[in-house]
Amino acid sequence: MILVESSVWIDFLTHQPSPHRAHFGEILRLPGAVGVPGPVVQEVLQGIRDPSMFEQVRQTMEDFPIFHAQTSTYLRAAHLYRQLRTKGATVPSGDVTIAAIAIETDHELYTLDHHFQRIAQHSALRLYHHPS
């Protein structure tokens, strides 16, 4: 299973042709292939203006396993954030929480956001790489 971060969902929902959009569409068709970190649900849905699109995307996201943060996740995220800061890497705390969810659940994270590459350089985060 791959955890899918908001940048991939947003790229997919824009309806603009892209290699990632096509590949993600293929992954979505595979049973049990996709999971969603809880914060990603909020990030994706809060940006949708159209009420019917909001409902459609909400229902779609709820069809996949949603991975929620636990107390241990927040503690891991705080430790990771501090570790990144000592190495000169400043990334949004929400991204660190998403990374901590992926690390704790031992899933790769599919993202288009460069912040996660910085996190992966200094942690156990495993990133999913789109086959080129």
pLDDT at 132: 62
- Token pair in block for residue 129: 């790489």
Domain coordinates of the chain in residue numbers? 2-121
Does 32 have pLDDT greater than 80?
Answer: yes
- Token pair in block for residue 110: 């599919």
Question: Residue 38: what residue type?
Answer: G
Question: Is domain 2-121 in CATH 3.40.50.1010, yes or no?
Answer: yes
| Residue 124: band (very low, low, confident or very high) from pLDDT cuts 50, 70, 90 | very high
What is the per-residue pLDDT across 38-78, written as a single tens digit (0 to 9) for each? 999 999 999 999 999 999 999 999 999 999 999 999 999 99
> pTM for this one?
0.93
Distance CA 29, CA 122 (A): 32
